[in-house]
Amino acid sequence: MFSAGEASGDQHAAHLFLALKELHPTLRGIGMGGPKMAQAGISLSYDSSSIAVIGLVEVLKHYLEIRRALTLMQQLVSQEKPNLLICVDYKEFNLKLAQFAKRQGVKVLFYVSPQVWAWRPGRVLTYGRAIDMMAVIFPFETAYYEAENIPVRYVGHPSVDKVKPQYSKTEALSLFGLNPEQRIVGLLPGSRVNEIKRLLPVMLLAGEKLSSQHPDLQFILPQATSISDALLTEYLARTSLKVMVIKQQPYDVIQCCDAIMTSSGTASLEIALLEIPMVITYKISWLTYCLGRWLINTRFIGLPNIIAGKAIVKELIQHHATALNLANEIDKILHDADYSKRIRQDLQAVKQQLGQGGGSQNMAQLASEMLNANSR
């Protein structure tokens, strides 16, 4: 049984299930997730796209639906008694589900650790009581669990394997009808509805400012599977900026870009793996932001900066996330060759730190060991 609540978790679970099926061809997958999991052959009892929200205020707004989803998943655990529950990210929801499953005698594998290195390190013990194994995706995370004698394994970051363009850059430029002689700016406003609402209007305004100064710029947006055509159209209809929207090919889109405006999270790491200079931006409700500043003990929110341990790409968060600031940073990336080169070199170092990949296969092997232990 799988439980994934967001677009990135949906992808991770789908890749894991396909790798696990190679080891156990008769395996049946059930649970909560999105279109990637359904496509991989997992039977979904709940579509998680409606509860893919982040931030205290946003969670409160969707509380009843989140609670309904949790109740449904708990019922599924009781009815099906799965051989293994794999909770993928979506921390607080999956912690509650894991605690319930544990009481039901179901083994729990948690995939993607909560960021205990950023805030509330005491959660290590809370999660340790609710799971049978924690699978972490950054090598430095194992120490937090080993210190408390909680079973943990570093499996590698799934994005290392996943971030593979289908075409060469030249082929992708031709396929999308982009002019290789003109600079290309990517817009990645996120995979959640509330991210689109907060970030896309600012990115479009920044694009308008850039376009007025450099009319030959091209703008491209890879549409996340969790975002509807109607939502994007609503915002694109309000801008004078010409934006090409591409579905299903995010990595081909990213590799075509000379600079990118992106939300924080997995997208920023995927851009780093393709070594494209970027500016990371994020906006949440003021209450969530104020609480976050009080609770979170980390200098950065962007994964490339966190992994590097320094500010290798600019972060424009909350009141700094203005169209002017975004436009100025993209302009600097595009027209300061030394600055752009330095960012690319630093991103290459981040890529090297994440290793050679094999994350989905490593996870499948770990899950297989737990399944085999169950059958003894």
326 φ, ψ (degrees, to nearest 5)? -60, -45
| List of residues 6+ apart from 166 with CB closer than 8 A | 172, 249, 251, 252
Residues 32 and 173 in one domain: no
> What are the CA-CA distances from residue 92 to residues 99, 107, 115, 126, 198 (Å)?
11, 18, 12, 11, 23
Average pLDDT score over residue span 307-322 = 91
At 217 the pLDDT is: 98
Q: Tens digits of per-residue pLDDT, 66-83? A: 999 999 999 999 999 999
Q: Given strand 243-247, what is the order of strands in its sheet?
A: 243-247, 218-223, 184-188, 259-263, 278-282, 314-317
Same domain, 192 and 279: yes
pLDDT higher at 174 or 358? 174
Whether 330 contacts 261, CB under 8 Å = yes
Residue 290: what pLDDT? 55
Q: What is the pLDDT of residues 13-58, one digit of tens each?
A: 999 999 999 999 999 999 999 999 999 999 999 998 878 766 665 6
* Domain annotation covers residue 163: no
Look at residue 309 and tell me if it is in a domain: yes
Mean pLDDT of 336-343: 97
pLDDT in tens, 1-11: 999 998 888 98
User: Do 315 and 302 contact (CB within 8 A), yes or no?
Assistant: yes
Are 10 and 38 in contact, with CB atoms under 8 Å apart? no
Indicate the burial class of 261 (C-beta count within 10 angstroms; 0-12, 13-18, 19 or more): buried
Mean pLDDT confidence for 279-290: 72
Q: Which amino acid appears at position 366 of this protein?
A: L
Structure tokens at 15: 């890749």
Say what the pLDDT of residue 294 is.
47
Q: Model-level pTM greater than 0.85? A: no
CB 67 within 8 A of CB 207: no
pLDDT at 193 over 90: no
Residue 354 has pLDDT above 90, yes or no: no
Q: Are residues 197 and 131 part of one domain? A: no
Are both 124 and 196 inside the same structural domain? no
Q: Find the range with the poorest average confidence among 85-89, 136-140, 252-256, 285-289.
A: 285-289
274 inside domain: yes
Report whether pLDDT(168) > 90: yes
Look at residue 366 and tell me if it is in a domain. yes
Q: Which long-range contacts (CB under 8 A, 24 or more apart) does 78-81 make?
A: 78/104, 80/1, 80/30, 81/105, 81/106
pLDDT value at position 302? Answer: 86
Give the model's pLDDT for residue 266.
84
Mean pLDDT of 192-209: 94
CA distance 355 to 267: 18
Are 232 and 362 contained in the same domain?
A: no
pLDDT given at position 265:
79
Is residue 161 in a domain? no
CATH at 29 = 3.40.50.2000
Q: Shortest CA distance to 161 belongs to which of 350, 364, 11, 359? A: 359
Mean pLDDT of the chain: 91
Which region among 188-192, 201-205, 244-248, 339-343 has the lowest average model confidence (pLDDT)?
Answer: 188-192
What pLDDT, in 10s, does the model give residues 205-254?
Answer: 999 999 999 999 999 999 988 889 999 999 999 999 999 999 989 999 99
Task: Look at residue 295 and tell me whether its pLDDT is greater than 80.
Answer: no
Q: Are residues 151 and 38 in the same domain?
A: yes
Question: What is residue 218's predicted lDDT score, i.e. its pLDDT?
Answer: 98
Q: Do 101 and 23 share a structural domain?
A: yes
Question: For residue 253, which of 219, 304, 205 has the smallest C-alpha distance?
Answer: 219
Same-domain status, 125 and 187: no
Domain of 295 in residue numbering reads as: 169-353
Q: What is the pLDDT of residues 113-163, one digit of tens each?
A: 987 765 667 789 999 999 999 999 988 889 889 999 999 999 998 889 889
Q: Are residues 143 and 250 in the same domain?
A: no
Sign of CA dihedral 79, 80, 83, 86: negative
pLDDT score of 284: 67
pLDDT category at 292 given cuts 50, 70, 90 is low
Q: Judge if 193 and 334 occupy the same domain.
A: yes
pLDDT at position 159 is 84
Give residue 355's pLDDT band: very low, low, confident or very high (50, 70, 90).
confident
Asked if 207 and 338 sit in the same domain, the reply is yes
**Residues 221 and 74 both lie in one domain:** no
| Count of domains observed in the chain | 2
The answer to whether 277 touches 343, Cβ cutoff 8 Å, is yes
